[in-house]
Amino acid sequence: MKKLSLVDKGFLTSENRETPMHVASLGLYTLPEGADEQQFLHTLAGNVRNAQALLPPFGDRLRLGRLGLAGAAYWEPDAAMDMDYHVRHSALPKPGRYRELFNLTSRLHGTLLERSRPLWEMHVIEGLQNRQFAVYTKTHHAAVDGARSIHISRSMLSTDPNHVLEESPLSLQSWQRYKDALRSGKQIVHSDEELRNVADVLKSTFDSSTNLVRALSAFSRTWAGRGGALSLPHQQVPISSLNHSIHGARRFVAQSWPFSRIEAIGKAFDGTFNDAVLAMCSGALRQYLKTHAELPEQPLKSMVPVSLRKEGDLESGNAIAAISANLATDVADPTRRIQAIIASVRAGKAFYAGMSSKEIELVSAVLQAPTLLLLPLGLMARLPPYNVAISNVPGIRETMYWNGARMDGSYPLSIVTDGMAMNITLITYDQNVDFGIVACRKSVPQVQRFIDYMEEALIELEDAAGIGSPKQPRPLTPRKPKTKRKAGIKRPSTASISAKPKTTTKRKTKVKAKPKNPQ
């Protein structure tokens, strides 16, 4: 049995009908050339179910003592494991557009996981156009974080379109083979540079007492108004529709952009890729709230998760903390806005600089203590710690296949809570950045328009930096293969999964992007 950490139990304690605490992903795949859809997916689902021993947490259920979550809690093997319950096969109604897929995904993401069983589900979804299928997988956040999810996904996939898994990708045998391959150097090992979120992976260089005293001093100065660019939870967080009490229904939309396009913005302003992501989301949030006539005078604040996972650590459930980033939505000029964002993120990094992962976990727990008190009292909407969550989960930087089916995109879905009715999560895959946006359907209306506003914000930043040319976000529809394969076993094309956007030599003064896929 494995004992749950304080962070793990926090996700379980905070959960209720309106606030499910699971994270998920929606993977898009293209069937191998010549494969029958129903037969291929039936075989794929059967392969997932066929496991004698499952890797944690897929074979473990929650075990509580007499004190419930107030006492010790453990993960223990489920003696009555029912794989047919956890792995499900669904079909979209015709015509199988992304609109129908997103509606189904929204419903699946709004339902609670059954706590008497292992806390995960996988839905294999057929019926999409262009010979695509989708796989929606959700797992409770008490069991996994983003970095571990990437490793689990990576163990299921291969760069070889001819590779076929003989055992279940969720089996302990498959997981052990993946770990052995990592240690022997046969698989790509993600460096600390890749397995981090907005903040850098932090190293311990000072004595713990020195770090904690320094953190307490910075905390006091910030609340006294002398913290400079440093932002803290609950400090001067404005109220908008993003911060109302939420309901159980969810709305999910997704889109992809070229990684190089966003990265160029960060470099142009002497920042990072993550700074550019925050600026892109900030511009979109500013336009969304202006459209609904409720842009606050104070800047919105974002929760930015930070990975504390050490290199080579594949087993930890959650290894995360968070910083508070000023999104500068009160600034109209995009140059000044991204400069303010960069300064805020750097101040957040400096606040944690030199601390060990344990010290960061301790300080983060102190900073989040008011949230843990406000949430059960129903006061989060009145005193929110942040306005929105924006999380970057570095993923796989090459084209991958699952038993010959090419992965076209991987779109993350995360958690919304009272006081934070929208969550923006992104993951890098191949040459692109896949954004998944989840919002409370009632509190945040017309969230599908947010995709348009993100493209407009990116163009605005490109104009301010004097780089690039107008480009549409990468459509979700894959490009047809340019060449035919020889006779024999037919496998999917290794060509790019999307058509290259057209470019023009002259930029129009105002460009409003229209993604090709229906929202």
- Backbone φ and ψ for 152, nearest 5 degrees, come out as -65, -45
Q: 141 an active-site residue?
A: yes
Q: What is the pLDDT of residue 325?
A: 92
The amino acid at residue 66 is R
Q: What is the pLDDT of residue 295?
A: 94
The whole-angstrom separation of Cα 207 and Cα 83 is 48
**Mean pLDDT over residues 103-107, rounded?**
96
**What is the pLDDT confidence band of residue 365, given thresholds at 50, 70 and 90?**
low
Domain boundaries, the chain: 2-184
- Backbone φ and ψ for 432, nearest 5 degrees, come out as -125, 170
Give the chain's radius of gyration (CA, Å). 22
Structure tokens at 410: 């991987």
Structure tokens at 156: 């299921």
**Mean pLDDT over residues 396-418, rounded?**
93
Q: Is the pLDDT of residue 251 over 90?
A: yes
The whole-angstrom separation of Cα 211 and Cα 204 is 9
The whole-angstrom separation of Cα 298 and Cα 238 is 6
Where does residue 442 rank: exposed (0-12), middle (13-18), buried (19+ CB within 10 A)? middle
Lowest-pLDDT range of 137-141, 454-458, 466-470: 466-470
Among 109, 123, 141, 244, which one carries the catalytic annotation?
141
Instruction: Give the 3-state secondary structure of residue 485.
Output: coil
**What is the pLDDT confidence band of residue 379, given thresholds at 50, 70 and 90?**
low
Lookup result for tokens 């262009």: 130
Q: What is the pLDDT of residue 231?
A: 74
* CATH 3.30.559.10 describes domain 2-184: yes
- Torsion sign across C-alpha atoms 414, 415, 416, 420: negative
Where in 96-169 does DSSP place strands (E)?
120-126, 132-140
Q: Which residues of 189-199 are buried (b: 16+ CB within 10 A; e: fewer)?
A: ebeeeebbbbb
What are the tens digits of pLDDT across the range 411-432?
999 999 888 899 999 999 999 9
The amino acid at residue 99 is R
pTM for the model? 0.79
- Which has more confidence, 92 or 512? 92
Q: Is the pLDDT of residue 203 over 70?
A: no
Percent composition of the chain: helix, strand, coil (DSSP 3-state, to 5): 30, 25, 45
**What is the pLDDT confidence band of residue 122, given thresholds at 50, 70 and 90?**
very high
Structure tokens at 368: 């989040």
**Mean pLDDT over residues 321-346, rounded?**
92
Q: What is the pLDDT of residue 44?
A: 94
The whole-angstrom separation of Cα 220 and Cα 214 is 10
Q: What is the pLDDT of residue 405?
A: 97
**Mean pLDDT over residues 121-133, rounded?**
96
Mean pLDDT of the chain: 80
Q: Is the pLDDT of residue 194 over 80?
A: no
- Backbone φ and ψ for 205, nearest 5 degrees, come out as -130, -10
Q: What percent of the chain has pLDDT over 70?
A: 72
